[in-house]
Structure 1
Amino acid sequence: MRDSGCAVAPGRVGGRRRFISICAAVSGLATVPAWARQAAAPEMTHRWQGIALGADASLEIRHPDAVLAQRVLTQVQAELERLEQLFSLYRPDSALVALNQQGVLAEPAGEMLTLLSESVHFGQLTDGAFDISVQPLWRVYADHFSEAQADPAGPTVAALAAAREKVDYRRIALDSDAVRLQPGMALTLNGIAQGYVTDRIVALLRQAGIEHALVDMGEIYGMAPEAVAPWRVGLQDAARLESLSRTLDVANQAVATSGGYGTPLDMAGRFNHLFDPRTGLTGRRYASVSVAARRATTADAMSTAFSLMPEAQIDTLAQSLQLDVYVQHHDGSQAEWRYADPAQNA
């Protein structure tokens, strides 16, 4: 199925955690009184495209003041640069790379402590399905499949067991003075940082007085005032990448998608970037999982965790956190849980 208002535009993987299977279309005026239509009609569109945390990113602002909009776009780029310096795995000068190399990060920035604390919280919430300390597993798989004659069955049981011994979010020591890792540990924020960055950009826009925008920093957030229609986003069909599995209306809400098909580690696609910290294997339970939430940080982390969890646990957590969850199975069938409260997104 292809929605006429939403063209499929798969994100290009630049070392990023996932293949973004969400595309976005322009929102229009809702069916509202004439005065509301008149108030919204003069808005101008201001766009930026670039890179955030190694992946394609974009921002579309609707605002009649072009000078204000351009000033905000400049501020957004500066904020992205600052956050990259903290969270990127692909910049040798980032705080995260320093932490992984040295095992300690003295006087961490407030945002680093906040994101690490949230990551530990999601680890607790999901009984370890979400774990930012899986970087040693990534290294084992990356090293294995970079060999010329790599065994298509994947890394050895011994290699995976050795890596798993270094994986445990509960062993991350967080303190305002320093972040400390035990020997051999390393972190990746690729399962949550894009959501956190998205939320930071949304906060920046709101502070500047912007109410109508589509933020795509690897995870999507649609900002929409009451007088205009929601943004429409399409969830990519994991089996037919040129098509959509469904479309969603998004207003003051985030959407994130995880799917193993996005970052295959081997030519056959048997192994992917969704590492199960409890087994060392890669997740193949679902073709894709999409989560809609009030915060992109939550949508990002939970779409990752839900990819490794049975449906009964998804249902329980989705209800507890007031999330909408959309699962596509490998046979093309779908399941969904709708617990988000639209009133909370106003």
Structure 2
Amino acid sequence: MSATAQATAAHPQARLLIPTQVSGPPAPWGQVQHRLGGDTMGTSWSVQLWAGADLPEAPLRRAIQAVLDDVIAQMSTWEPDALISRFNRLPPGGSLVLPDSFALVIDTALRVASRSQGAFDPTVGAAVGHWGFGPAQLAAGLTDTTRPVGWTQLGWVPATRRLTQPGGLRLDLSAIAKGHAVDRVSAVLRDSGLPHHLVDIGGELSGQGLKPSGQPWWVDLEMPDPACPLPPTRVALHGLAVATSGDYRRWRLGAQGQRLSHTLDPRTGAPVAHAVASVTVLHPSAMWADAWATALMVLGPVEGLALAEAEDLPAIWIERPTPAQAGWRETLSPALRALLA
């Protein structure tokens, strides 16, 4: 998914989104802000945190990188030896017992698939490969790579963490794995006694705790186009994560010169065809925010709004101008409006 939000200075005209409850003590006075960062998953990661000036950064950096490397080793379709690639090569009836983190991602992905009636589908991999948004081996050996895919065909037994390949299904977890990685890095920081932190992996963010001043982590949602005249939105990330699905960073031109979004509709196997440029979702978990943003991007602002209302999801859609619609347009879910300061 594309980078979607960034920590920035306050915008004088920005709308503010503030969680309904802000609780817990702030970081102690005297702590200093530390910044760590690096590369992962074809993008960059960064961590900001408050701790004592004598915090040993090198071991913490290694622990964070180890978590990120583990996510890649399990869930990157670009790595032939990754666990997900091994599953995709299984013959019909073959199965794997998944490690806990992979099992959590699969279980969450299937829950979102069910609750979105297939607008999110972790078995969209063959279509991703066909349209050129993933490694070619995702579609290798399949005769029909654009047919509707089949999350309901996966054999998943949560109690034993066993996932069974029905034959020809190709997993692609790129719409949820990055959010999962954000959650795991946040957990590493909490377990290290560092509860006041902001984690950013390619624009998926999670903010926890408070600064010594009592302020939360403020982030500005990135607009899908510099020409977009809609008011900017600034979010107080306190026990919240933010994720965005959009077509403004990853897209390509089709054979007829049309703009092809990297977000595919699993129900058709083709890129989404509506005018939505981005959908942003807030959730306590970056993994869930990541998956829900993709589902709501696929559904658009009409079907998606109904789902966001049913799931009580804070979400915002931004649509670009079209021949039938003059000007940019935004749609805010009721749960998001409730956060407006």
Matches within 5 A, 1:299-338: 299-331=289-321, 332-338=328-334
Equivalent position SS for 1:200: helix
Counting only pairs closer than 5 Å after superposition, residues 265-276 of structure 1 correspond to structure 2 as 265-266=252-253, 268=257, 270-276=259-265
Normalised by the length of structure 2, the TM-score is 0.79
Instruction: Look up the match of 2:192.
Output: 208
Whether 2:30 is the aligned partner of 1:42: answer yes
User: Does 1:279 pair with 2:268?
Assistant: yes
- Of Structure 1 and Structure 2, the greater strand share is in 2
Give the CA deviation at 1:335.
1.6
Change (3 A) 1:81 1:210: same
After the TM superposition, which parts of structure 1 deviate over 6 Å for at least 4 consecutive aligned residues? 36-39, 241-244, 340-343
- Is 1:20 aligned with 2:15? no
Deviations 1:141-175 (A, max 9, x none): 229xx9xxxxxxxxxxxxx9922446111111124
Q: 1:37 to 1:164 in 2, by over 3 A?
A: closer
Whole-Å separation in 1 of the counterparts to 2:176 and 2:97: 22
Counterpart contact for 2:123–2:151, Cα < 8 Å: yes
| Structure 1 contact 265–272 (Cα < 8 Å) conserved | yes
Given residue 262 of structure 2, which amino acid in structure 1 is its aligned partner?
H
**C-alpha offsets along residues 58-116 of structure 1, whole Å, 9 cap, x if unaligned?**
11121115335543332111121122211112222211111112354533212112211
Residue 338 of structure 1 and its aligned partner are, at CA, apart by 4.2
CA–CA separation in structure 1 for the residues paired with 2:30 and 2:5: 28
Is the aligned partner of 1:98 residue 2:86?
yes
Residue of structure 1 in register with 2:205 after alignment = 220
Distance 1:241 1:114, change over 3 A: farther
* Preserved contact between residue 113 and residue 119 of structure 2 (Cα < 8 Å): yes
Larger RCO (CA within 8 A; separation ≥ 6): 2
The worse-fitting range, judged by mean Cα deviation, of 44-53 and 298-307 is 44-53
Question: Equivalent of 1:234, from 174, 195, 220?
Answer: 220
2:90/2:167 contact within 8 Å kept:
no
Tell me which moved more, 122-131 or 103-112. 103-112
Q: Which amino acid counterpart does residue 320 of structure 2 have in structure 1?
A: H
Change (3 A) 1:38 1:294: closer
Output the CA distance in 2 between the equivalents of 1:66 and 1:141: 49
Deviation by residue 1:197-239 (Cα, 9 ceiling, x = unmatched): 1111112211222121110123111112386212121222212
2:50 alignment partner, one of 62, 82, 89: 62
Please tell me the residue identity of whatever aligns with 2:6: C
Structure 2's unaligned 5+ residue stretches are: 11-23, 137-141, 322-327
User: Alignment partner of 1:163: what SS?
Assistant: coil
- CA spacing shift, 1:177–1:259, aligned 2, 3 Å: closer
- Provide closer, same or farther for how the CA distance between residues 41 and 269 of structure 1 changes in structure 2, counting only shifts above 3 A: farther
From the two aligned structures, give the one with the greater helix fraction: 1
For structure 1, the residue ranges without an aligned partner over 5 or more in a row are 1-17, 28-35, 147-159
Distance 1:342 1:204, change over 3 A: farther
Residue 251 of structure 2 corresponds to which residue in structure 1? Answer: 264
Give the 3-state SS of the residue equivalent to 1:307 in structure 2. Answer: helix
Give the CA RMSD over aligned residues: 3.1
Counterpart contact for 1:263–1:272, Cα < 8 Å: yes
Alpha-carbon distance in 1 for matches of 2:290, 2:161: 28
Letter in 1 for 2:38: G
Counterpart in the other structure of 2:183 = 199
Query: How far, CA to CA, are the matches of 1:338 and 1:51 in structure 2?
Result: 36
Name the SS for the 1:257 alignment partner.
strand
